Structure 1
Amino acid sequence: MNATDPAVLAREQWLGLSRRRFLRGLGACIALPAFDSLGAAKVLGAAPDSQLAVTATGAPLRMAFLYFPNGAIQDAWWPSSEGTDFQLNNTLQPLANLRQHIQILGGLDHLNATPGPDGAGDHARANGTFLTGVRMKKSATEIRAGVSIDQVVAGRIGHLTRLPSLELTCDAGHNAGACDSGYSCAYQYNLSWSSPTTPMTPEANPRQVFERLFGAGSPGERARNLERQYQQQRSILDFVLEDAHQMERRLGARDRDKLDQYLTGIRAVEARIQNAERLGLAKEPACDAPPGIPADYAQHVQLMFDMLVLAFQTDSTRVATLLLAHDGSNRSFSEIGISEGHHELSHHFGDAAKIRKVAQIDLWYVKQLAKFLEKLEQTKDVDGQSLLHNSMIVYGGGNADGNAHSHVNLPILLAGRGGGTLTPGRYVRYGSRPASNLFLSLSDRMGLQSLERFGDSSGRLGNV
């Protein structure tokens, strides 16, 4: 196409104006690596007195929630002693070199995941309750859960980053139909909920995640392609919103509710574009985009962890979730010599051989976690601390004992120092407290001290 073609000139003019608009007033170091001489607050454009998702040094404070399925073998999970002298049990041994960065939290429950009047369906309830703390409606068609804690936080701090939150999975699923004993599949395949009826569908393809963060194409092309994508999305959104508002007047109450749920997703895309325009584009990492979803599960898990590290490192988001596998997952682990399905084995009924195999699977997941935490610890943040120091990483599941389908004393650990506000390097037993209390305490550190209750919380969790 001729460079003097009016269409080409118009496109280039738009891209130039768009780039200037993105960067105006932000400075050239928006997404550059940290320079100690500039100071963390200047690099990030964060106001020194801001109380939202920042550490005392002005560096970003991040939170992430990582979910593993089907509970854990209790005797292999819990340390043998409390306090700072705790001895890691077999399952958590891969974290030995990180013990000063983690705290194992005992005695946290999700009572709304128990059967109660609803009967079977513990896997759906475990998954759906984990970050919401509420009892879900048992239905395959009329879903109702609650807003998850990540979305509560993202709703308050999401304007600070290009993406208000990032939802990832290594277990592509679906949101329609029945999956577990009459519960909608939406409960089992989603951790994050923006409203009681709207799950935040996670992305399973690491390439799609990379391109969402940095744009498609080869290095040098990504920023321009991402700007072009935003322009196209903006045009489509304007059309859709205008059409929807015209239609709304002709709809009944039930259809208006459906339209409102749809528009919630549309507005989320619009907010993401606005944030990108205001904050500028992230600096491209010096690596190629992942080719897609690898056949090897361990590679898939590590690629998704890599995407999460990149998202935190470039301050593209400060809130994330990662569903390693849905509760009830029956994945086999031939790479460690286990041909039976995980869920099948978790109902071991005391069979010693099956218990050993489930413990091996639990160990496999913790090995993946350890690699991720090591990457965070090795990556320097804008204030000279590590990304792990300036993060709060919750790793756990909504089932405690997969054989008994219990939901008390959940296997949960918390990694990171929360920018110096947490006290890792210990094993703490809280008796019996709602896991929602922990989430309230973490949201305080993100600047949401005005949040009085969450889920089934009974108060803040002290001594964290």
Structure 2
Amino acid sequence: ELGIEPNSMLGSCGGSTCAYTNTISWRSPTTPLPTENDPRAVFEMLFGTSGSTDPEVRQARIERDRSILDSVNGALRDLELVIGMSDRAKLDEYLDSLRDIERRIQMAEEQSARELPVVDQPIGVPSDYAEHAKLMMDLLALAYQTDLTRITTFMMAREISGRAYPEIGVPDSHHPLSHHQDSAAKLARLHKVNEYHFQQFAYLVKKLEQLPEGDGNMLDNTLLMYGTGISDSNTHFYDDLPIALVGGQKTGITGGRYVRYAQDTPLANLWVTVLAKLGLPIETFGDSTGPLDRLLDV
């Protein structure tokens, strides 16, 4: 779960909890997964605090993490014997987090011998938007290379974002600008912001295309979705959402075309269709009404 802007899950944002504006991933209907916007922290999640992707350094870090985790698990088993039922739910959540860490360590062990480009740990959050986005996408691609994850989310901007983009000639804050009131000047500046964001996405597409994988490249085996939850930000209109699916030849998606679906078709129908393609068939997701036609090669 990656992002560019701060990721607070607390407080009120636009009249609702900040969890709805600052993340698009949820562990459960009531548990949000916060985004991480610090490249240094992302690197540490992938490779620990070793500061490098060097194999020997990574292996030493894996062994240290495994030792710490074994010690914590032992202490928790003792704790389970003495706590009451009211504390058990909190402990279960903590155990879920530990199991996630254990899964990451196991994956790291499995890929520790894989040859990777030697990459040093980033210093922190770049002040330049494009530099920040590209650094995060480099780490995303590196995570795919190491097979530490196969699914990611990336928020190019949070809801109700106050960020300005003076580097492209847009001094306005993003959210107020999105309520353009059909002003031609504001629409032109908003178009610049949208185009700027899409240019960063194009960088990721090109990055994956340049990474060899199997008998092709990583993009051949990857399905990327770029989109938004609102089609007209001025009126908060959320029909006719502009969604781009970008995938290589092995994803089963027929590219190079524009497909328009009937009005009121839920976006969740796309997730049902994609999950089925990934080998995770489900009957419903959110407000879905069924899979989409005209999308997959069948």
Question: How does the TM-score come out when normalised to structure 2?
Answer: 0.88
Residues 236, 261 of structure 1: CA spacing in aligned structure 2 closer, same or farther, 3 A cutoff? same
Residues 192, 373 of structure 1: CA spacing in aligned structure 2 closer, same or farther, 3 A cutoff? same
Residue 4 of structure 2 corresponds to 170
Residue 193 of structure 1 corresponds to 26
Give the superposition deviation at 1:176. Answer: 1.9
Matches within 5 A, 1:87-102: none
Work out whether residues 198 and 261 of structure 1, in 8 Å CA contact, stay in contact via their aligned partners in 2.
no
Residue 183 of structure 2 corresponds to 351
Give the root-mean-square deviation of aligned CA atoms.
Answer: 2.3
Residues 289, 201 of structure 1: CA spacing in aligned structure 2 closer, same or farther, 3 A cutoff? same
For 2:204 and 2:93, how far apart are their aligned partners in 1? 35
Which residue of 426, 436, 441 maps to 2:257?
426
Residue 140 of structure 2 corresponds to 308
Give the superposition deviation at 1:347. Answer: 1.0
Residues 265, 216 of structure 1: CA spacing in aligned structure 2 closer, same or farther, 3 A cutoff? closer
Which residue of 60, 70, 84 maps to 1:238?
70
For 1:223 and 1:203, how far apart are their aligned partners in 2? 25
What is the CA deviation profile of residues 278-314 of structure 1, one whole-angstrom value per residue up to 9, with x for unaligned ones?
4444423144443321111110001111112222233
What is the CA deviation profile of residues 129-174 of structure 1, one whole-angstrom value per residue up to 9, with x for unaligned ones?
xxxxxxxxxxxxxxxxxxxxxxxxxxxxxxxxxxxxxx21111221
Work out whether residues 171 and 326 of structure 1, in 8 Å CA contact, stay in contact via their aligned partners in 2.
yes
Residue 367 of structure 1 corresponds to 199
Residue 59 of structure 2 corresponds to 227
For 1:367 and 1:263, how far apart are their aligned partners in 2? 40
Work out whether residues 213 and 282 of structure 1, in 8 Å CA contact, stay in contact via their aligned partners in 2.
no
Residue 109 of structure 1 corresponds to none
* Other structure's SS at 1:389 match: helix
For 1:280 and 1:330, how far apart are their aligned partners in 2? 41
Identity of aligned residues (%): 41
Residues 256, 179 of structure 1: CA spacing in aligned structure 2 closer, same or farther, 3 A cutoff? farther
**Given residue 377 of structure 1, which amino acid in structure 2 is its aligned partner?**
E
* Other structure's SS at 1:430 match: coil
Matches within 5 A, 1:401-416: 401-416=232-247
Residue 268 of structure 2 corresponds to 436
Residue 333 of structure 1 corresponds to 165
What is the CA deviation profile of residues 414-436 of structure 1, one whole-angstrom value per residue up to 9, with x for unaligned ones?
00136151100000001131111
For 1:272 and 1:250, how far apart are their aligned partners in 2? 29
Give the superposition deviation at 1:387. Answer: 1.8
Matches within 5 A, 1:31-50: none
Q: Which runs of 5+ in 1 are unaligned?
A: 1-166
Matches within 5 A, 1:18-57: none
Give the superposition deviation at 1:376. Answer: 2.0
* Other structure's SS at 2:217 match: coil
Query: Does residue 220 of structure 2 align to residue 389 of structure 1?
Result: yes
Residue 457 of structure 1 corresponds to 288
For 2:249 and 2:290, how far apart are their aligned partners in 1? 20
For 2:129 and 2:27, how far apart are their aligned partners in 1? 28
Work out whether residues 7 and 36 of structure 2, in 8 Å CA contact, stay in contact via their aligned partners in 1.
no
* Other structure's SS at 1:410 match: coil
Pair member with larger Rg: 1
Aligned pair count? 294
**Given residue 173 of structure 1, which amino acid in structure 2 is its aligned partner?**
N
Residues 403, 253 of structure 1: CA spacing in aligned structure 2 closer, same or farther, 3 A cutoff? farther
Bigger relative contact order, structure 1 or 2 (CA pairs below 8 A, ≥6 apart): 1
Give the superposition deviation at 1:378. Answer: 2.7
Work out whether residues 223 and 251 of structure 2, in 8 Å CA contact, stay in contact via their aligned partners in 1.
no
**Given residue 179 of structure 1, which amino acid in structure 2 is its aligned partner?**
C
For 1:420 and 1:463, how far apart are their aligned partners in 2? 14
Question: How does the TM-score come out when normalised to structure 1?
Answer: 0.59
Work out whether residues 170 and 204 of structure 1, in 8 Å CA contact, stay in contact via their aligned partners in 2.
yes
